[in-house]
Structure 1
Amino acid sequence: MAEVEKKEEEVAAIEMSMRRRTFRVLLGIFLILFVYALYFAKDFFLPVVLAFMLALTLSPIVRVLSWRGVPAPLSATLLVLVSFTGLSIMGFLLSGPVLDLVNDAPKIGRELRERVSEIRGPLTRFVEASEEIENVTESGNEPDVQKVVIAQPGIVSRAAGNLLSFGTTVAVTLVLSLFLLASGSLFYEKMVQSFDLMSDKKRALRVVYDVEREISRYLLTVALINSGLGVAVGLCCWAVGLPTPFVWGVAAALLNFLPYVGSLIGIVLVGIISVVTFDTLATAMVAPLLYFACTAIEGQFVTPLVVGRRLEINAVAIFIAIAFWSWLWGFAGALLAVPILVIVKVFCDNFEVMRSFGNFLGAQHTNDTE
């Protein structure tokens, strides 16, 4: 009898092991197919994710206004209209300076090469030698060989296509976020109705509200902090006499959604413009140093004090997320990488089965402060 029970236990263990392996294989296949879907259906998923992010960011404002008697559809409409107006005004103000920077890019490149000519002498000789070798190689080709060049779309057509795609993304994002904000707690009610037991309904509702509250507060707070950083950087650039300070302020606010990487990119760009704008190297270093000071104060004092350290993500996870989402959706994906990572961490912290993964995503001192 004991041997029969032992064999049954072994069979049960083998079946459980097979089930786990099957589940892992199916999960891996699902993740691969999901990533492929995100990549090839970017034009659909990107505005949807942006709409959910915008709705989560503005949901605390809608809730506060609803407590004061303002209907959710009215407050949602006003907020979306204000967002659209702000984006339109910002786009209009940025269009001129950005076009000027694009048109002046060759001139900026020449001036930058002139300024750093004393430290690029060996590199110049290497490039010239490479060009001479390439010319000798091409001159040795047979005269009958013809080069076929595939005509590429013109700059105007590419710009028109990109502008149309950008406009469509913005329109879908704003309309979908309007419906999400105006619907109020409709999605939560539908979710609760899917459970049978009252205890499960209460637990699901509590978890959903906790997740929404943490994410919305984080997104809204970080958006306000980044806006303040953009204002500070813009004022610093204006104070030192850097051209188009408004552009660098907006760039600082957007790039700050990319921890570590964004501030480095902003400092390098401001440094390049400073080098070609000012006469001396000492004067040119003032603007990037002020940019660095603003980001250091924001990263070391303002954000930890206002947001807290519970939702901090470790640097390795941040770099992996930025690399993955930038490969998947380009610059927009890079900007969304950290907010998506924070959303994943909040979900993991609120579900026991995923808490270990949430702890992996968190910073080293997360457990000490909770």
Structure 2
Amino acid sequence: MKFKDVRKKGFKSFKPVNETIKLLSSHLSVMPEEKVDTIDALGRILAQNIKSPVDIPHFSRSAMDGYAVKAEDTFGASLKNPKRLKIIDKIKINEVSKTIIRDKTAIEIPTGGPIPIGANAVIKLEDVRRDKDNLEIYFPVAPFKNVAKKGEDVVKGDIILNKGKIIRSQEIALLLASSILKVKVIKKPSVAIITTGSELVKIDETPKVGQIIETNSYTISSLCQVYGGKPVRLNIVKDNEQALMESLNNALNYDIIAFTGGSSVGEFDLIPHVISKRNDSQMLVHGIAMRPGSPTAIFMIKNKPVFCLPGFPVATMISFETFVGYTIRKMMDANELDPRPKVKAILKRQIPSRFGRRDYVRVKLIYDKEQGEYFAEPVRSSGSGIISSAVKADGIMEIPEDLEGYEKNSEIIVKLYLPR
């Protein structure tokens, strides 16, 4: 798309969100693979299917404290007609018994103890009566009752985790139990974060009238980590073309570049204009049919996505999650491109919207115990610069382009803020 300078002119048209994401996706490529220690792989995305090299468990073991027996020796047992077995050995938790179970014999066994040869069931301690080495059984047990069979959890050679899977604590446990100490994952994309604006001051400075404490870089740095990226916060850049160009050139050492501020139609909204001066820049979109976040612009330079996000904090957050967060996940080949949990809720009041634009509405959730469902209360706000409105909210509801809002009591989907 050819760049058009919209400063002091305004946008003539806006591209729909879905079309923007589709166009953006067509320009993205997956990051290379890297091998990491399994114990350090939390939150990483698998680069390949994983097969288990072992059975889990790798031996048949008792699931209860009790007695290993032949199930057939317990058939017909009852309170009136107990079956009697001879105890011939006792297994400790880390021992393998060399004694073989034969007809009408039993071996005492702890939870996790290896099932001895000849046994095919375990009867619980509380279901028997013991007198020295004699055992009375009052209840029959079926074959393999209370036995965790070899390969019951995982069979050797089975695919235990699929490519694109996000590694959680339970996946780490499964990998380690399978004796897999290293895994191939997709490398995290580095995200250069550049905040712009001559009015911005650092967080440890006291702002004067007309100045604003810069918080956007910290906000999207946190979001970047939530989505799986590796954030790199660069310096605040004043509204100066040369300074902005220098910061852009430096940022091209990273995989993704995200500017905040300076993307709209004001005289000092310079970023899209500066980016377009590079001969190798390609503009994908400038102006998206969404609220908040409509001034968002997306470019490609050297196969790297460059995002120009609005400066208002809430608009920055929503634009980041919608486009940059998506890009991070796409470049890591994640199966789940939007990691935010979703809940159904009943809207507590009517919310109007404009046809042809996607609205992102901050909502607070209230759980009604009697009705067993969530209700969503839109957070009242005067605009996307009100940070407290995001703090009061639990998540975002979207009003799609083909609707003019939602009526009161409509069922909606709320995307919850991360982390939860």
Length-normalised TM-score, structure 1: 0.22
Normalized per residue, the structure richer in strand is 2
Length-normalised TM-score, structure 2: 0.20
Normalized per residue, the structure richer in helix is 1
